[in-house]
């Protein structure tokens, strides 16, 4: 049985609240889970100490049993000092798409032609 430490959504419409749970990887997001080990309230300010609350001892015990955290939970664990998370860097993510680059090149070419025509 593959265990995941992941988020289960609660709260009402447009007012999310998440429980950090231990669940079988095959069970649905808000479905059956084994244990609750914390919660996350994204509606609170980022400086609030009640925004993310984790039970460190329980999480360490479940990780020792083989539970794998999801990326978001791993971020929370890294902030709490429970795990190491590799920094990710994708320099290509901020670049415009292929079509946008073509349009920009075409626009620059037209501007250069217009400048040449104006100079003559």
Digit-coded pLDDT (tens) for 54-105: 999 999 999 999 999 999 999 999 999 888 888 878 888 888 889 999 999 9
Total-model pTM: 0.71
How many angstroms separate the most distant Cα atoms in the chain? Answer: 77
Tokens of 14: 């447009």
Q: Which residue has the higher pLDDT, 60 or 119?
A: 60
Tokens of 33: 């889970």
Decide: 7 and 72 in contact? Cβ < 8 Å.
Answer: yes
Could you tell me where the DSSP H helices lie in the chain?
Answer: 56-64, 71-80, 98-119
End-to-end CA distance of the chain: 76
- The dihedrals phi and psi of 28, each to the nearest 5 degrees, come to -70, 165
CATH class of 3-80: alpha beta
Query: Does position 12 have pLDDT exceeding 80, yes or no?
Result: yes
Query: Does position 118 have pLDDT exceeding 90, yes or no?
Result: no
- Domain borders along the chain are 3-80
Digit-coded pLDDT (tens) for 18-38: 999 999 999 988 888 999 999
């Amino acid at each position: 049985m593959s265990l995941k430490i992941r988020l289960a959504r609660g709260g009402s419409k447009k007012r999310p609240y998440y429980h950090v749970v231990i669940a079988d990887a095959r069970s649905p997001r808000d479905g059956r889970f084994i244990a609750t080990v914390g919660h996350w309230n994204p509606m609170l300010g980022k400086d609030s100490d009640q925004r993310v609350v984790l039970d460190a001892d329980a999480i360490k015990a479940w990780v020792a049993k083989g539970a794998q955290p999801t990326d978001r939970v791993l971020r929370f664990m890294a902030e709490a000092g429970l795990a190491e998370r590799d920094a990710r860097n994708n320099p290509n993510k901020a670049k415009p798409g292929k079509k946008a680059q073509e349009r920009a090149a075409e626009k620059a070419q037209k501007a250069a032609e217009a400048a040449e025509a104006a100079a003559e």
